[in-house]
């Protein structure tokens, strides 16, 4: 008789210690995590791909206290086992869009689930930054979400994090989203110190949301004031969008936060356009829909499509007009190269 081979047992063992350390049974246990990880790796409803963020928490109210400006909606109750968590995912996932996230909490012997969001201001600190930073005495919470195609991230209030690859990727492969922070730092490198952190927070949020919906993109950071010559085909934004200036205006109440929301929408539109988006290290968005005309020296050695070739060509220009290059492929996996300091 043929013996079936499944990665379930291996996965079960791999997340066992993580679940144990959280001390959140029955909500967070190996069986629940395995079900969620498999489901979220390629989650679709009615043929539409969804990437909801799921927060498993011991006490919703205790968790929301960390999030000024929050709101929550209770959707229903479920049994206190893996089936209950899967029911919560099924019912809530289509609604967990934009800033809404799914919660499941343990209460009185059963699970309650629904949706919540943190502060809706594009400037505010993101939910995961506050809840999953590993501070002593933090409220018990675990987040499970799809970080890229066939990759699910689990992260706990203890600061522990695992990326689970459900593909042929090697264990030492950097996870998707790994380089977003590097890109944000490169774009904000020359932003005035007093405003740098808010600009970083805004761009982190804006780029994360844009990249989540992207089918692949290339982003370059130029050390020059204008689009570099090697990108001699593209659309320049005049005047360039100065995020630091807008954010300073918002903080002094001269500009409405809705202006930042509209700029977030522009970032998303440009990231989803064909070609390369160009920022400079002063936190300005200079151009989009740009193309590299000349092939790189190593073009013939590159394995991959047009985006990969363009990425390699841009990487050759780092230190010569460019300070960083970021690429996200169609499946959500990323590459990043920056100028050595």
Question: What is residue 209's three-state secondary structure?
Answer: helix
To another protein, the closest distance from the beta carbon of 66 in angstroms equals: 6
Of 67-75, 144-152, 160-168, 235-243, the segment contacting another protein by CB under 8 A is: 67-75
Does 15 engage in binding with another protein (CB under 8 A)? no
Does 283 engage in binding with another protein (CB under 8 A)? no
**Among residues 31, 86, 130, 302, the one that binds another protein under rule CB under 8 A:** 130
To another protein, the closest distance from the beta carbon of 121 in angstroms equals: 6
**Among residues 107, 110, 129, 330, the one that binds another protein under rule CB under 8 A:** 129
DSSP secondary structure string for all residues of 315-330: HTTBTTTEEEEEEE-T
Does 282 engage in binding with another protein (CB under 8 A)? no
Does 200 engage in binding with another protein (CB under 8 A)? yes
Structure tokens at 163: 């990326």
Beta strands 276-280; 217-222: pairing state: parallel
Question: What is residue 296's three-state secondary structure?
Answer: coil
Give the C-alpha separation, 157 to 305, whole Å. 40
To another protein, the closest distance from the beta carbon of 63 in angstroms equals: 10
Alpha helices in 221-302 (DSSP H): 243-251, 257-271
Does 119 engage in binding with another protein (CB under 8 A)? yes
To another protein, the closest distance from the beta carbon of 68 in angstroms equals: 4
Does 74 engage in binding with another protein (CB under 8 A)? no
Tokens 């600190």, residue located: 125
Give the C-alpha separation, 250 to 69, whole Å. 17
Give the C-alpha separation, 143 to 316, whole Å. 38
To another protein, the closest distance from the beta carbon of 135 in angstroms equals: 6
What is the largest distance, in Å, between two alpha-carbon atoms of the chain? 74
Give the C-alpha separation, 273 to 293, whole Å. 17
Does 70 engage in binding with another protein (CB under 8 A)? yes
Binding marks (x or -) toward another protein, 241..260, rule CB under 8 A? ------x---x---------
Give the C-alpha separation, 161 to 144, whole Å. 10
To another protein, the closest distance from the beta carbon of 112 in angstroms equals: 20
Cβ(98)–Cβ(71) under 8 Å? no
Length of the chain (residues): 341
Q: Which is nearer to another protein, 110 or 133 (CB)?
A: 133
Does 275 engage in binding with another protein (CB under 8 A)? no
According to CB under 8 A, which residues from 137 to 176 bind another protein?
137-138
Nearest to 144 by CA among 47, 21, 29, 9: 29
Number of residues that bind another protein (CB under 8 A): 30
Give the C-alpha separation, 212 to 149, whole Å. 11
**Among residues 3, 98, 172, 193, the one that binds another protein under rule CB under 8 A:** 193
Does 69 engage in binding with another protein (CB under 8 A)? yes
Does 201 engage in binding with another protein (CB under 8 A)? yes
Note the residues at the interface with another protein (CB under 8 A).
62, 65-70, 119, 121, 123-125, 129-130, 133, 135-138, 193-194, 196-202, 247, 251
């Amino acid at each position: 008789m043929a013996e079936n081979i499944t990665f379930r047992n291996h996965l079960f063992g791999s997340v066992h210690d993580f679940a144990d350390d959280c001390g959140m049974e029955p909500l967070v246990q190996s069986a629940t995590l395995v079900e969620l990880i498999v489901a979220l790796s390629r989650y679709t409803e009615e043929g539409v791909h969804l990437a909801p963020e799921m927060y498993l928490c011991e006490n919703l109210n205790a968790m929301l206290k960390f999030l000024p400006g929050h709101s929550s909606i209770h959707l229903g109750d479920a049994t206190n086992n893996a089936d209950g968590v899967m029911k919560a995912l099924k019912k809530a996932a289509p609604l967990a869009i934009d800033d809404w996230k799914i919660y499941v909490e343990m209460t009185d012997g059963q699970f309650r689930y629904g949706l919540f969001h943190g502060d809706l201001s594009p400037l505010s600190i993101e939910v995961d930054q506050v809840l999953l930073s590993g501070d002593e005495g933090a409220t018990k919470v675990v987040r499970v979400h799809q970080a890229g195609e066939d990759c699910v991230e689990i992260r706990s209030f203890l600061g522990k994090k695992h990326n689970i690859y459900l593909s042929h990727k090697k264990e030492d492969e950097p996870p998707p989203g790994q380089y977003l922070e590097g890109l944000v730092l490169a774009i904000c490198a020359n932003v005035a110190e007093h405003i740098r952190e808010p600009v970083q927070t805004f761009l982190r949020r804006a780029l994360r949301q844009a990249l989540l919906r992207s089918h692949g993109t290339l982003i370059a950071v130029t050390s020059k004031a204008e689009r570099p010559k090697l990108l001699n085909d593209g659309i320049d934004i005049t005047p360039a969008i100065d995020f630091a200036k807008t954010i300073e205006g918002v903080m002094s109440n001269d500009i409405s936060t809705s202006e930042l929301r509209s700029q977030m929408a522009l970032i998303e539109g440009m990231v989803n356009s064909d070609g390369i988006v160009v920022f400079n290290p002063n936190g300005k968005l200079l151009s989009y829909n740009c193309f590299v005309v000349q092939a790189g020296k190593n073009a013939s050695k590159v394995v991959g499509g047009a985006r990969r070739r363009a990425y390699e060509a841009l990487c050759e220009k780092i230190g010569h007009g460019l300070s960083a290059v970021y690429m996200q492929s169609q499946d959500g996996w990323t590459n990043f190269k920056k100028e050595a300091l």
